[in-house]
Amino acid sequence: MNRTALHSALREIRAHFSNLRVLGAMLVVAVVLALAGPFGTSDSMTLGARFAYWAAIVASSYGLAFSVSLLISHAFGLGRRITAVWARVLVFGAIAGVPVTLAVTLVNVIAYGRLPGDVLTLWAQCTLIGLCVMTMLEILDASIRQAAAEAPPAPAMPAQDAPAAPPAIVARLPHPQRGRLVSMSVADHYVEVTTEKGRGLVLIRLGDAMKEAGDVPGLQIHRSHWVALDAVRRLVRVDGKPMLELTDGRRLPVSRSHADAVRAAGFN
């Protein structure tokens, strides 16, 4: 995995676990399991101990399943190659089974002081947990997208008093990162939005993000990249491949399917 992909994955992990929907869902699952006391925990633990046990299981299992799957997805581009929801759930659920098994084993060693007896059975159960985690991710992903799409627009200020409103996609960023739009790039389920003041991840499709760029003059140069025209410095070639050099020094690739549009915009 190159450093750019690693940094993108780490930013996405931080953004995901800062989402209140995600944290709330994990808390609800931990509470339900603590109250239900499955797998004999109702007999061997008090309610407080059960909550601590299941909270540790949920946090470690979900955290490792999501993080490892995302890192592998960024390393090999699986998120872009696997478009069907059921296929993503199966592939990443199977991948997540290994780290979830390790997490559950560690928590049980701490709680009970012994290793599980049947490792294969545990692995099968943890792979099932991984599938559940991936299903939960897809449901959360869909609900967050729907909530964003249904969010009412901010009330308009009087025209004479209000400064020019930023494009809708920029308005999704934290205030410190809001500024003149520079570029947008796909990062798995997210789009990395770069402005003159910084960058941030937004859970949105690139096509929808381009619509939210509004009147900002821009150009899609690749299936994964969009640039603002005033942020382009020049067209360069690296190992014979065309790339646009931006005012912040970054270089983004131009795909063959978008080369004509780039030339038509005056970059030769």
Pick the last residue of a domain from 124, 150, 176: 150
What CATH number is given to the structural domain containing 257? 2.40.50.1020
Kindly state the tokens that stand for 247. Answer: 């005012």
Same domain, 28 and 141: yes
Same domain, 52 and 128: yes
CA angle, residues 88, 93, 98, in degrees to nearest 5: 145
Same domain, 172 and 118: no
Instruction: Give counts: helices (H), strands (E), the chain.
Output: 10, 8
In this prediction, residue 160 carries a pLDDT of 53
Pick the last residue of a domain from 150, 183, 208: 150
pLDDT exceeds cutoff 80 at 30: yes
pLDDT exceeds cutoff 70 at 110: yes
Q: pLDDT tens across 135-162, in order?
A: 876 776 666 666 655 656 555 555 555 5
Same domain, 188 and 122: no
How many other C-beta atoms lie within 10 A of the C-beta of residue 21?
Answer: 12
**Do the domain assignments include residue 175?**
yes
Same domain, 178 and 117: no
Same domain, 12 and 41: yes
The domain tally of the chain equals 2
Same domain, 138 and 251: no
Among the listed residues 232, 191, 234, 230, the one whose alpha carbon sits nearest the alpha carbon of residue 211: 191
Confidence of residue 163 (pLDDT cuts 50, 70, 90): low
How many other C-beta atoms lie within 10 A of the C-beta of residue 50?
Answer: 20
Q: What is the separation of C-alpha 213 from the centre of its chain, rounded to a whole number of angstroms? A: 20
**Do the domain assignments include residue 158?**
no
Where are any strands of DSSP class E within 67-222? 181-187, 190-195, 198-203, 218-222
In this prediction, residue 117 carries a pLDDT of 73
pLDDT exceeds cutoff 90 at 224: yes
In this prediction, residue 81 carries a pLDDT of 64
In this prediction, residue 78 carries a pLDDT of 63
| Mean pLDDT for all residues in the chain | 82
In this prediction, residue 4 carries a pLDDT of 58
Which residues, including other chains, have CB under 8 Å from residue 205's CB and lie 6 or more apart? 191
Confidence of residue 105 (pLDDT cuts 50, 70, 90): confident
Same domain, 127 and 52: yes
Place of tokens 């997805």: 73
**Do the domain assignments include residue 258?**
yes
